[in-house]
Amino acid sequence: MVVKSRFFTVVLTLQVTFDFVHTPTRVVLYVEKDPRTKQATPVLGVSARDVACGANHCVAVDDKGRAYSWGFGGYGRLGHSETGDEMVPRMIKFFDGPRRGVSKVYAGGQFNLATAEVKGTTYMWGQYNSTKEANMYPKPIPDLSGWMDVRSIGCSGKGESTFYFKLIADYCFPT
């Protein structure tokens, strides 16, 4: 399309393409990237046991407690200490180590929460409030440190989260 005026001429080329997938497909490639060289290495033997999706990103946890994320990387929502987008699941290096595994992951609009395998620790990364800075990598939530088992977490697109603790559940619904 060409738009002409007395002062300028603008040539617009709008090409929008997309792929619509009719049936779900299996994610077959998980990678680990070197932070300096950006060299990707395939991770073999990944069996996902938990998946959570936000507005523009996904996070998966494998049977070894390692977390992988992919999608739009803005606001640190992928947890890789950078804002680059990832087209395939990339391992979040923070959770790849002894006693750093993830038991369950939850995704909000621009942030993620994860309960750790070590009881009493919940991590958050991304931007959960538009007036605050984003966490570029997973950080423990100090207000939840040392609490009883977290049974469930609910996340919204705007950053509000709801935590249900075993202590509250046992108090309200004794067994």
Each residue's pLDDT tens digit, 87-138: 999 999 999 888 889 999 999 888 999 998 888 788 999 987 777 788 899 9
Q: What is the pLDDT of residues 25-72, one digit of tens each?
A: 788 899 999 888 989 999 999 999 999 998 889 999 999 999 999 999
Instruction: Check: CB of residue 43 under 8 Å from CB of residue 92.
Output: no
* Alpha-carbon 106 to chain mean position: 8
Q: How many domains does the chain have?
A: 1
Asked whether residue 136 is domain-assigned, the answer is yes
Asked whether residue 133 is domain-assigned, the answer is yes
Residues ≥6 apart with Cβ < 8 Å to 79: 59, 67, 69, 92, 94, 112, 125, 126, 136, 137, 138
Is 163 a residue whose pLDDT tops 70? no
Supply the pLDDT for residue 172: 42
Q: Average the pLDDT over 137-158 and give the result.
A: 77
Is 150 a residue whose pLDDT tops 70? yes
In terms of pLDDT, which residue wins out, 6 or 95?
95
In terms of pLDDT, which residue wins out, 24 or 167?
24
Asked whether residue 19 is domain-assigned, the answer is no
Domain residues for the domain of 156 are 28-172
Give exposure, 24-43, as e/b (b: 16+ Cβ within 10 Å). eeeeeebbbbeeeeeeeeeb
Asked whether residue 2 is domain-assigned, the answer is no
Indicate the pLDDT class of residue 75, thresholds 50, 70 and 90: confident
In terms of pLDDT, which residue wins out, 7 or 168?
7
Asked whether residue 8 is domain-assigned, the answer is no
Domain CATH number, residue 154: 2.130.10.30
Asked whether residue 7 is domain-assigned, the answer is no
Asked whether residue 91 is domain-assigned, the answer is yes
Residues ≥6 apart with Cβ < 8 Å to 58: 51, 52, 69, 70, 71, 89, 107
Is 167 a residue whose pLDDT tops 60? no
Provide DSSP, 74-124. Answer: GGGTT-SSS---EEEEEE-GGGSSTT--EEEEEE-SSEEEEEESSTT-EEE
Asked whether residue 139 is domain-assigned, the answer is yes
Instruction: Check: CB of residue 72 under 8 Å from CB of residue 85.
Output: yes
Supply the pLDDT for residue 31: 94
Supply the pLDDT for residue 165: 46
